[in-house]
Amino acid sequence: MQYEAVIGLEVHAQLLTHSKIFCGCANQFGSPPNTNVCPVCLGMPGTLPVLNRKVVEFSIRAGLATHCAIAPKSVWARKNYFYPDLPKNYQISQYELPLCTGGYLDIEVEGQTRRIGITRIHMEEDAGKLIHDPAQPVSYVDLNRTGTPLMEIVSEPDLRTPEEAAAYLKALRDILVYLEICDGNMEEGSFRCDANISLRPVGQAEFGTRAELKNMNSFRNVQKALEYEIRRQRAVLDDGGSVIQETRLWDAGANKTLSMRGKEEAHDYRYFPDPDLLPLIVEPAWVEEIRAGLPELPDKKRRRFEEQYGLPAYDAGVLTMSRPLADYFEAVASACGAPKAASNWIMSELMGALNAEGKEITASPIAAGQLAELIRMVESGELSGKLAKQVFAEMMASGQDPGAVVAAKGLKQVSDEGPLRELLQKIFAANPGQVEQYKAGKDKLLGFFVGQVMKETKGQANPQVLNDLVKKMLSE
Ligand code: ADP
Ligand code: MG
Ligand code: ZN
């Protein structure tokens, strides 16, 4: 039997607001335990939540960027459950009336574009964290994270392969990072994903029974967990069994998913509208203001780079991976007027050197204007490609302008015929045999003369000028 996978993803993204969603505590990762807390986020009786307007603004940004409708009225709901990291015993979330609905995201897998539906985006608060001490039979509770603003982004079951799921996640993360509303760090948990997956016989319209996978903290692990789950469910079905609806945990060490809880143990959260919070009314004018302030998104920027700068799709994809990188490229390209050369220098030399030092583009020792100047010197023939690389290494180490490096190191390319002619005359005089052979038709000796000059000038002779000059002088 041939099966097709059906996958839907639930993403939780922490928002980069300064303060928490319902109180003024700092929204900060890595503080000492229980230092970013107050009576509100500690769930003390008698306290009241006050909504952080930025959380709504950020979520509207996400909704607009993913083509969702923004609800003029949405409602906060209590999701009730007990756990030691949840002091109120309920999480404030949105349920029946979420902020954003009915959007989509286009992804590209193996040259094919597919449109993946986004069911909804709602806002909620994060819970705290339990830290289990392996050395002692105790657990610690850190409530710094309670009240951290989250968006939950739920996709339609439109994904069909683990590759598509990974592509969707990457595209979604890139958008949130571009919008500057989430740092997208899967390892630190600021961008988390639960994956729902079922199989159905190819050609069947109804979906099969799904498993929900948790605990994947990288794109790679999401893909691996889904691949494992496809094999597992296929084996169950081929055996004549049926998949049971359950939550399974990905075990990255063992490379498999393990059952965590079945449907019978699934929570009944007893959602109801939160009586402490008014329904959220969003004025259309505010939505339009936010829409007008949206940055150019990765997809659009990539296409523009291909068209405006004539870059290959690959270059455009790499250069638009982050906004600062794209901005850097544009600054270099417009200052030097040679976009493809700018792309080559950034993708190979600069990104290579930055990676080696573990630096981001924002910490580049070489400013965009300096790299543009270096490229301009190559384009005009002042520097050969080889010398330019030496100058680049020096700029990387010292942050100096290319002109200063050239002057200090005497690296300028010799393009004047005068000194090259003088040098060649000496070389011809010292090698009369080779001159004779060349004149007798042994063209290959051109390389010998060029090599001699390069040796004398430490590679600073302009190769084009030199080649032409050798030919000209020996035919005189
Ligand atoms: P829950 O609240 O139990 O997680 P939802 O209805 O919100 O359930 O669905 C969660 C996710 O599961 C969505 O992303 C949806 O696309 C996906 N999903 C729903 N049914 C299936 C299915 N049969 N197979 C795979 N994914 C599914
Ligand atoms: Mg779910
Ligand atoms: Zn607080």
CA of 94 to the centre of ligand 3 (A): 20
Give 247-301 pLDDT, tens digit per residue: 999 999 999 999 988 877 777 899 999 999 999 999 999 999 999 999 999 989 9
Average pLDDT of span 188-212: 96
pLDDT at residue 61 is higher than 90: yes
Task: Please tell me if the CB atom of residue 4 comes closer than 6 angstroms to any atom of ligand 1.
Answer: no
> Which ligand approaches the C-alpha of residue 245 most closely?
1
> Which ligand approaches the C-alpha of residue 10 most closely?
1
Give 303-347 pLDDT, tens digit per residue: 999 999 999 999 999 999 899 999 999 999 999 999 999 999 999
Q: What is the mean pLDDT of the chain?
A: 94
Task: Please tell me if the CB atom of residue 193 comes closer than 6 angstroms to any atom of ligand 1.
Answer: no
Give 363-410 pLDDT, tens digit per residue: 999 999 999 999 999 998 888 888 899 999 999 999 999 999 988 887
CB 395 within 8 Å of CB 366: yes
Give the global pTM. 0.83
Look at residue 459 in the predicted model and tell me its pLDDT: 78
Mutate to test the pocket of ligand 1, among 105, 192, 196, 214 (most ligand atoms within 8 A of CB): 196
Task: Please tell me if the CB atom of residue 122 comes closer than 6 angstroms to any atom of ligand 1.
Answer: no
Look at residue 50 in the predicted model and tell me its pLDDT: 98
Domain ranges of the chain: 3-287, 296-409, 417-474
Q: What does the block give as tokens for 231?
A: 């094999």
CA of 10 to the centre of ligand 2 (A): 7
Look at residue 303 in the predicted model and tell me its pLDDT: 94
> Which ligand approaches the C-alpha of residue 93 most closely?
1
Look at residue 376 in the predicted model and tell me its pLDDT: 95
Tell me which of 385 and 356 has the higher pLDDT. Answer: 356
> Which ligand approaches the C-alpha of residue 208 most closely?
1
Average pLDDT of span 439-468: 86
Look at residue 413 in the predicted model and tell me its pLDDT: 75
How far apart CA 305 and CA 419 sit, in angstroms, is 43
CB 329 within 8 Å of CB 342: yes
Look at residue 395 in the predicted model and tell me its pLDDT: 96
CA of 251 to the centre of ligand 1 (A): 21
The protein residue whose alpha carbon is closest to atom 14 in ligand 1 is 8
Give 14-33 pLDDT, tens digit per residue: 999 999 999 999 999 889 99
Look at residue 414 in the predicted model and tell me its pLDDT: 79
Give 82-122 pLDDT, tens digit per residue: 999 999 999 999 999 999 999 999 998 988 999 999 999 99
Give 126-152 pLDDT, tens digit per residue: 999 999 998 999 999 999 999 999 999
Look at residue 384 in the predicted model and tell me its pLDDT: 83
- Where is average pLDDT lowest: 213-222, 342-351, 456-465? 456-465
The protein residue whose alpha carbon is closest to atom 5 in ligand 1 is 154
CB 405 within 8 Å of CB 411: yes
Residue 411: pLDDT band with limits 50, 70, 90: confident
CA of 377 to the centre of ligand 1 (A): 57
**Class for the domain spanning 417-474:** mainly alpha
Average pLDDT of span 197-222: 95
Average pLDDT of span 345-362: 94
CA of 242 to the centre of ligand 3 (A): 46
Task: Please tell me if the CB atom of residue 213 comes closer than 6 angstroms to any atom of ligand 1.
Answer: no
Look at residue 110 in the predicted model and tell me its pLDDT: 87
Percent of the chain topping pLDDT 90: 82
Task: Please tell me if the CB atom of residue 210 comes closer than 6 angstroms to any atom of ligand 1.
Answer: yes
Q: Spell out which residues have Cβ within 5 A of ligand 3, the ion.
A: 23, 25, 38, 40-41
pLDDT at residue 357 is higher than 80: yes
User: How many angstroms separate the Cα of 207 from the Cα of each of 114, 175, 211, 234, 461?
Assistant: 19, 29, 12, 14, 70
Q: Which atom of ligand 1 is nearest to the CA of 158?
A: 16
pLDDT at residue 418 is higher than 90: no
Task: Please tell me if the CB atom of residue 155 comes closer than 6 angstroms to any atom of ligand 1.
Answer: yes
